[in-house]
Structure 1
């Protein structure tokens, strides 16, 4: 294990699970970044290749600009927060919290403000629940590691 020095010179050990959680978080959230970048650069062709129906693609194309910004904040924030876990930086949990807030706003847009829930189907609802659950876990973990003094 590697450690982090404290002000009094004591070393706080970096637990093995930090590397496990951090790498899983980076890899998982890299998928979101990839999906966003491909959706923005390849558009409908990428979405169709990912299995989206024409109605689902149209739903994404009708999103207002603020939703695209929200989506970007969500995916890039989650990725950055994950990298910050690996860098043992205490900003990991607030960055991840902003990402979760952005994600929950996108869920509200899809399921409350539009008929996107009907268009996207039950699989997207399950996927959204998994994403929210994992983000909540990563936030809790980063917060816990900050409280223990591992993230500085």
Structure 2
């Protein structure tokens, strides 16, 4: 594997991680974008209950900004990873800051039970785990010279 990296070739796993993470992060970016636009079609497709929509609309600006950083940062990080850009590291780090802000807000609020039905309690752990792994992966790829 290190021979492929030192010869300037992109390792196969970068394409796998990049494409899978782009698909995963596209869902979060779409959710943020369409929820922010108050898309009724999106809310219906995602089966958001009215209480869940009201909860999202009640986000203060700082929490909304954290949600934006978390989702859009991760999506851009995946794109930058596929372009082999060293800025993928920054995008994934910014995404983690956004996730931390959103987590802080959600920890101090009462999530409606109707919304909790469509987002299981284990989901934030999965979200954090994937985000941290993507940051670590991008840091390693930058250290190996894969990301320029």
Tell me the TM-score range normalised by the shorter chain: 0.7 to 0.9
Report the counterpart of residue 115 of structure 1 in structure 2. 110
2:89 to 90, 93, 112: 93
Determine the C-alpha separation between the residues in 1 that align with 2:126 and 2:92.
Answer: 15
In the TM superposition, residue 82 of structure 1 has moved relative to its aligned partner by: 0.7
Determine the C-alpha separation between the residues in 2 that align with 1:117 and 1:26.
Answer: 29
Query: What's the TM-score, normalizing by structure 2?
Result: 0.85
Q: Secondary structure at the match of 1:76?
A: helix
Contact 2:66 2:97 in 1 (8 A): no
Determine the C-alpha separation between the residues in 2 that align with 1:101 and 1:116.
Answer: 21
The within-5 A match list for 1:54-65 is 54-65=50-61
Contact 2:89 2:135 in 1 (8 A): yes
Q: Between 114-123 and 78-87, report the one with greater CA deviation.
A: 114-123
The within-5 A match list for 1:2-151 is 11-43=7-39, 46-111=42-107, 113-116=108-111, 120-121=115-116, 123-151=119-147
Determine the C-alpha separation between the residues in 2 that align with 1:54 and 1:126.
Answer: 23
In the TM superposition, residue 12 of structure 1 has moved relative to its aligned partner by: 2.9
Structure 1 residues not aligned, in runs of 5+: 5-9
In the TM superposition, residue 104 of structure 1 has moved relative to its aligned partner by: 1.9
Determine the C-alpha separation between the residues in 2 that align with 1:15 and 1:132.
Answer: 25
Q: Secondary structure at the match of 2:23?
A: helix
Query: What's the TM-score, normalizing by structure 1?
Result: 0.83
Q: Secondary structure at the match of 1:12?
A: coil
Taking only aligned residues, the RMSD between alpha carbons, in angstroms, comes to 2.3
Displacement over 3 Å in runs of 4+: 42-45, 117-120
